[in-house]
Amino acid sequence: MILNFYTDTERMVEVPWALTILDSLRPEKLLDTGSVGAPYLNDIMARSEDVTLLDARPIENAPEGAHAWRGNVAEMPAAWKGRFDAVLSISMLDHVGLDSYGLSANRSDINAAPKELLRVLKDGGSLLLTVPFGKSWIGTHGNSGGQRVFSFKELQSLFPETQWQWGVPVFWKLVKGRYAPATMEEVEDADYAGHRAGAVVAVRLVKKGPDTEEK
């Protein structure tokens, strides 16, 4: 898959991964989180009948037909309970709870956000999640504010197997300006690399319910 935008960040692998899965899912109702500036919005409009965009900042790049909602992923509308067949989280969670992208720091948000993502999904719905991966770290990302790198242990704590069915995680490592496929062992000590992740993980998580089938 060839991207229709230029990037030297982890988006070069995150976006094709997510769009490939959406091609097979074709969710009726899709939520994208952290939508401001996202270069893939027109692409997801072609893969779902009903697209909602969420960001703490005004969403001025919303495609025609999308529902734009300004708000915090850690406290989404009560009416969204069980609304979405799929949720897209492309390098969004790594800023949650930090002074970043329109929100003030709130330590509790990083624990509240995964619970909210679970709540707004239907049973059997999919969360397509990507985050910077490696050594656990909190710092800053240029002029955009707070930034995290997650360890696998942290992700397992935020998305426990009692609530989520984990797909097989996919890892990439930054090598000479490009992202190359890697094993978890090869990236577990990765750092953040200036304006981009030194390594990234992508995983499909399915909300468990009484009728959830193995994916």
Supply the pLDDT for residue 7.
82
Q: Using CA atoms, how far apart are residues 206 and 65, in angstroms rounded to an integer?
A: 27
Supply the pLDDT for residue 5.
56
Q: Is 97 in contact with 109 (CB distance < 8 Å)?
A: yes
Q: Give the contacts of 1 (CB within 8 A, at least 6 positions apart).
A: 16, 19, 20
- Model's pTM, two decimal places? 0.94
Q: Give the contacts of 181 (CB within 8 A, at least 6 positions apart).
A: 170, 171, 172
Supply the pLDDT for residue 100.
85
The number of CA neighbours under 13 Å toward the Cβ of 193 is 21
Q: Is 11 in contact with 38 (CB distance < 8 Å)?
A: no
Average pLDDT, 10 consecutive residues per value, the chain (215 residues): 68 96 98 95 96 95 96 97 98 93 88 98 98 95 84 98 98 96 98 93 95 56
pLDDT tens per residue, range 122-176: 999 999 999 999 999 999 876 678 899 999 999 999 999 999 999 999 999 999 9
What count of other Cβ atoms lies within 10 Å of the Cβ of residue 142? 8
Which domains are assigned to the chain?
A: 11-207 (3.40.50.150)
